[in-house]
Amino acid sequence: MSNSGQTTIYAFLQKHTHEEGEHDPHDWCPALDRRAAVRLLSLSALAAATGCTATSINGKATTSTTSTATTATTTTLSASVTSVAANVDVTLTAVVSPTAATGTVTFYNGTTSLGSATLSSGVATLTTLFSTAGTESLTATYAGSSTYAASTSAAVSLTVTSTAACSVTLEGEEGPYFVDDSATGYNRSNILTNLDGTDSQTGVPLTLTLYVYDAKNSCAAMQNVQVDIWHCNAAGIYSAESVESTSSQSWLRGYQLTDSTGKVSFTTIIPGWYSGRTTHIHFRLRSTYDSTDTSGSNTMQIFFDQTLIDTLATSVSPYSSEGTNPTTNASDHVYTGEEDGTTLVTMTGSTSAGYTTSFNAYLPI
């Protein structure tokens, strides 16, 4: 014990104890025998009175401490792309290690907050867009918690390009299987099932995002465009068609209205094929250019990489049961004769986990 601690205890005992026969009538505290005082005051109380945090009991050291230490963390940031057009979504992903860390991550462009997201298994994501061209410096900051220390990622650069110049999307024919799906129930992003949720179609999962821009207005994003989608299932059959004996079915059909960024997204499968056509998906876009037309205009079709099509046909169920399609992209009259190969999509993913893709459409078609 330090000299100051000993002095403090001695002063305490001097103030509140007396020798036998001594008594101060003005002292509010009753007299105590010094030995009794030591017995009544626990060692921990005496230690606290003197500022000590440790003493010795039966020859063993005991220590009372309060820990405020937190576990160090690291935060890393990545963007879904390194270059993006203005007004097109980009997804930012922050990974905090250790993954047991909880709390929120705030994403910044310079010193401007883009928004926050909650960690889940050490990962937080935020989807955002940038309205002007330039180079953005993005960071992510983990706020920390009572257990884990805060941390900030290194900066990630993102190039935002201008969309001031663009060309209208080429028109692809409507085909024989369009059904006007303006009924409320068809307004849906997941088109795998009938409207009542039955008969879900199987195949390789596909998440498809379409962005719609106005080619006559500096390629600005177009809001409230009705984007109709329809395509065949893995066996090459369309729903809602009497010739297919599916007139009571509604799977793989639907529509969405574009948001303020011109975006719609659909959950579906990669289609199969039928005689005379390569693998494709149909769209109709109803906009201010022509909001009600169903006569066969304002339509387009997207197509898939020929290597993927061949892989599905030869080794991936249920597509492989249909065999190889004799009509390839190169010999398809819409792919080569109408769309000129300009609506071939680029995808990421795998046949086991599914694919994601996005495509930009420029109106008027």
Lowest mean pLDDT among 93-102, 119-128, 162-171, 355-364: 162-171
pLDDT of residue 20: 46
With a pLDDT cut of 90, the percent of the chain lying above it is 69
- Mean per-residue pLDDT for 287-315? 88
- Regarding the domain delimited by 184-363, which CATH topology (the fold level of the hierarchy) does it fall under? Protocatechuate 3,4-Dioxygenase, subunit A (2.60.130)
For the segment 44-68, the average pLDDT, to the nearest whole number, is: 43
pLDDT tops 90 at residue 86 = no
Instruction: Please tell me if the domain spanning 74-161 has the same topology as the one spanning 184-363.
Output: no
**pLDDT value at residue 218:** 82
Q: What is the pLDDT of residue 152?
A: 97
From CA 163, how far away is CA 159, in angstroms rounded?
A: 13
Place 131 in a pLDDT band, splitting at 50, 70 and 90: confident
Q: Any idea which fold 74-161 has?
A: Immunoglobulin-like (2.60.40)
The residue ranges of every structural domain in the chain are 3-63, 74-161, 184-363
Q: Which long-range contacts (CB under 8 A, 24 or more apart) does 352-357 make?
A: 353/205, 354/204, 354/205, 354/206, 354/207, 355/204, 355/205, 355/206, 355/207, 355/270, 356/206, 356/207, 356/208, 356/209, 357/206, 357/207, 357/208, 357/209
Mean pLDDT of 288-314: 87
Instruction: Encode pLDDT of 274-296 as tens digits.
Output: 999 999 999 999 998 877 666 66
